[in-house]
Amino acid sequence: MTLRHFINSTDLSADDLRKVLQLSTISIESLGRPLAGLGAALIFEKPSNRTRHSMEMAVVQLGGHPVYTRGEEVGLDVRETVEDITKVMGGYHAILAARVFDHNIVRRMANMSTVPVVNMLSDRQHPLQGLADVLTMQQQLGDLVGKTVCYVGDYNNVARSLAQTSALLGMHVRLGCPNGYQAEDGELEALQKLGAASVEQFDNIHEAVMGSHAVHTDVWTSMGQESETDKREKAFASFQVVSSVMKDAAADAIFMHCLPAHRGMEVSAEVIDGSQSKVIEQAHNRMHAARGLLAFLMGVNA
Ligand code: CP
Ligand code: NVA
């Protein structure tokens, strides 16, 4: 079995991604039990609902045993070095996964690890979320090649993983982000190279969502940025997804949000609780996508 990690959404090629999506949709029984008798360490430096529960259950469904560990308990670079923790845990577990503040921590884990390392969210990436996002769009919209995904708000960890994963599947990618919170030029070119049908960025929410089949957003202030809350609320004030924004998207467009959401901030209650919203399906797909990804990393073939 080749050692593979999932630190960035781009760690999967387009072919790999299609395999993972296939593994995410087939029956649990047909995956076998690749983690039978094996453990998965799940280390969290930040709070979580979806990621913890979906990963724990995915491990169980593959026959394994998840061990939830709080970041301060192992003390990454505090109690001992990330490298020592990684080497020790690799002797107990078949999978190491971590949710961290600093993306470099998961990179260092992957550099050192003899077992697959999974990024469960860092300041730069949320690759497991990106998988569930495209799985949900595929189920709702059919084949995604040539379909249009739009993300509005902060070009953050969730946005970057969504854009990269969507690009790998040949989607048109539209971004609506205020100045100061946009993707850098190099990132737009990289999305094009990954396979996006087109990539466009706007600083106006109505222009951005025009004709899109799926409209995504996320919180304006991510975990770890709480001191910037006031500044961000001002910068994103005109980037709330409300009904008039959804009207500018395609007629049957879906609304998506990784959750947790703040009604009255990045999205109105009318939109997130309305008929176009697929956020609960999206949240449930976190488990199916996690199971597909873990099976792929354990060498299961689609
Ligand atoms: N979407 C997501 O990652 O949710 P949690 O922070 O609850 O895990
Ligand atoms: N961008 C958010 C996502 C939470 C799931 C954060 O990093 O806090």
pLDDT in tens, 138-169: 999 999 999 999 999 999 999 999 999 999 99
Is the pLDDT at 54 greater than 90, yes or no?
yes
Identify whether 282 is a catalytic site residue.
no
Pocket test for ligand 1, best of 50, 55, 56, 280 (most atoms within 8 A of CB): 50
Query: Which residue of the set 50, 93, 99, 124 is catalytic?
Result: 99
The answer as to CATH 3.40.50.1370 being correct for domain 9-126+286-297 is yes
Q: What is the Å distance from ligand 2's center to 91 Cα?
A: 31
Identify whether 5 is a catalytic site residue.
no
Q: Is 74 helix (H, G, I), strand (E, B) or coil?
A: helix
Radius of gyration over every alpha carbon of the chain, rounded to an integer in angstroms: 19
Environment class of residue 63 by beta-carbon count within 10 Å: exposed (0-12), middle (13-18) or buried (19+)?
Answer: middle
* Residues 91-107 pLDDT 10s: 999 999 999 999 999 99
Whole-number Å distance between alpha carbons of 130 and 123? 14
Identify whether 218 is a catalytic site residue.
yes
Return the residue matching tokens 């260092």.
108
pLDDT, the chain, mean: 98
Amino acid letter, 168: L
Is the pLDDT at 38 greater than 90, yes or no?
yes
Output the CATH code of domain 127-283.
3.40.50.1370
Contact 281, 140 (CB under 8 A): yes
Amino acid letter, 186: G
Q: Is the dihedral of CA 73, 76, 77, 81 positive or negative?
A: positive
CATH 3.40.50.1370 in the chain is located at 9-126+286-297, 127-283
Identify whether 33 is a catalytic site residue.
no
Closest-CA residue, ligand 1 atom 7, reads 49
Whole-number Å distance between alpha carbons of 125 and 163? 11
What number of helices (H) and strands (E) belong to the chain? 13, 9
Minimal CA–CA distance to 173: which of 194, 193, 154, 201?
201
Q: What is the Å distance from ligand 1's center to 97 Cα?
A: 14
Structure tokens at 126: 């949320």
Residues 110-129 have a mean pLDDT of 98
Q: What is the Å distance from ligand 2's center to 7 Cα?
A: 16
Whole-number Å distance between alpha carbons of 14 and 290? 17
Shortest-distance atom of ligand 2 to CA 158: 1
